[in-house]
Amino acid sequence: MFVRMLRQSFAGNRKRKALAAITVALSAALITTLFALSVDVGDKMATEMKAYGSNIRVTPRSENMPLIIGGRDFNPLRGRDFIDEAGLPKLKDIFWRHNIVGFAPRLTLPVVAADQGSAPEFSLIGTYFDRNVPLPDDPGYRTGVRTVNPFWHVAGAWPADEAGDGPVGVLIGGGLAQRLGAAVGAELALAAPETPLATAAVVRVTGILTTGDIEDQALVAPLGFVQKLAGQPGKFQSIDVSALTVAENDLSRKASRGAEALTPEEYDVWYCTAYVSSIAHQIEEAIPGVSARPIWQVASGEGAVIGRIQSLLFVVSVAAIIAAAMAVAALTTTTIAERAAEIGLMKALGAAPWQIYLLFIGEAVIVGLAGGAIGVVAGYLMAQGVGWSVFGTGVDVRPITVPVVLVTSVITVLVGSIVSSREIASLLPAEVLHGRQ
């Protein structure tokens, strides 16, 4: 009979029920959109933030503090530890390998322009520009500074990573180009006084590089060329890694004091979450003898921005839920007033209060589920619209969104209904059925 009453109640009050469902659907759509954005904004923003460069630097564990002044590395090459180039593919073998957007090894060699007499030394940086690094599951994988540092601006052309005929192509930092009077197409003879062979080599400038950092006062060349000049084949000093990470929180901050500071349970959660610190930890596990350190200016900036955006979305979601609950409460109050005679009759026929509440709550649950289902679909479409208009790509609406929004919708409707259902208890059948004489 209860099911029959529910069915007939809906059949006989289509417009009012539809209005309630639409109210819930609007709220559910907003919640779906905001929830999807809230979950996905971390990835989206992390991807956007990759434009600001790498967020993890990998160096040999025994490496000294960097001593770079005015773009020149004052640490002597002799006696330094290096990282073996053959171990680079291991970066894409860690638990969070798919979050490694790219990496660029770096070998810095102090050089002088051979034809400039007593001109001061400057750095020759060897790296990958966009080089193929064959991986077991992706033989065509390419990476380098063009991926890791998309903000690098080159006036001219990017050099090739592999040596060809003629002088090796290099990028020259804007400041150094000005100092040396070099332009695109210029050839420079380099001498590397610190190397055992004191080798000299000629390079050709293919582009002027602007980074706003030390590269503005340096030459950037293919890694193989610099390794050969330095007499360190297959070696380099550091790796800049760009990884997609999630916002830092209390757990990751605790882990930053050392993984041993975590309980086993915390360690599992931390290890299986794409914190910059857990990815750095996994890099250290994958490549023996290295130290991977988050570049906290970048990592914490990402975390702060993403965290604030998620907080904002959460607040707006809560506001939407409260607004929907208030709307449903108003609607239910009106419904109860309109159905006062019906409620009074039920009481007169001997219905227990819970039986009357059950009917209204049953109706509320159905309205909540129907409105929630409509809202999920509408919210999915809205999220895609927002994703394309803001990030230029769709938003990944996780399956968990569906039950979360449905449950939220039902709870919202229940809260709204229960608040106004107090009217039922105070309704006197004598008043609504007979009136008083």
Other CB atoms within 10 Å distance of the CB of residue 394: 14
Contact 27, 326 (CB under 8 A): no
2 binds other proteins (CB under 8 A): yes
Segment contacting other proteins by CB under 8 A, of 6-14, 93-101, 222-230, 405-413: 6-14
- Considering only residues 8, 178, 249, 393, which one is a binding residue for other proteins as defined by CB under 8 A? 8
Shortest Cβ 428–other proteins spacing (Å): 7
Nearer to other proteins, 16 or 228 (CB): 16
x/- mask, other proteins, residues 57-96, rule CB under 8 A, reads: ----------------------------------------
Contact 215, 113 (CB under 8 A): no
Segment contacting other proteins by CB under 8 A, of 7-15, 22-30, 101-109, 291-299: 7-15
- Considering only residues 62, 64, 355, 393, which one is a binding residue for other proteins as defined by CB under 8 A? 355
Size of the site for other proteins (CB under 8 A): 29
Shortest Cβ 368–other proteins spacing (Å): 20
- Considering only residues 67, 304, 318, 341, which one is a binding residue for other proteins as defined by CB under 8 A? 341
15 binds other proteins (CB under 8 A): no
348 binds other proteins (CB under 8 A): yes
Nearer to other proteins, 390 or 433 (CB): 433
Nearer to other proteins, 262 or 345 (CB): 345
Here the contacts of 161-166 (C-beta below 8 Å, separation 24 or greater) are 161/128, 161/129, 161/130, 161/131, 161/222, 161/223, 161/224, 162/131, 162/222, 162/224, 163/222, 163/224, 163/225, 166/204
The beta strands (E) that lie in 131-237 are given as 131-132, 142-143, 153-156, 168-173, 187-191, 200-210, 218-222, 235-236
CA atoms within 13 A on the CB side of 160: 7
Of 121-150, binders to other proteins (CB under 8 A) are none
Nearer to other proteins, 7 or 257 (CB): 7
Shortest Cβ 95–other proteins spacing (Å): 59
Residue 23's nearest CA partner among 420, 326, 318 is 326
Nearer to other proteins, 16 or 106 (CB): 16
Burial 425-435 (b: 16+ CB within 10 A, else e): eebebeebeee
CA atoms within 13 A on the CB side of 94: 25
Strand 200-210 and strand 168-173: pairing?
parallel
Shortest Cβ 374–other proteins spacing (Å): 23
Residues forming a β-bridge with 156 = 207
d(CA 278, CA 96): 9
Shortest Cβ 339–other proteins spacing (Å): 9
- Considering only residues 22, 189, 309, 351, which one is a binding residue for other proteins as defined by CB under 8 A? 351
Q: Which residues bind other proteins (CB under 8 A)?
A: 1-2, 4-5, 8-9, 11-13, 341-342, 344-352, 355, 428-430, 433-437
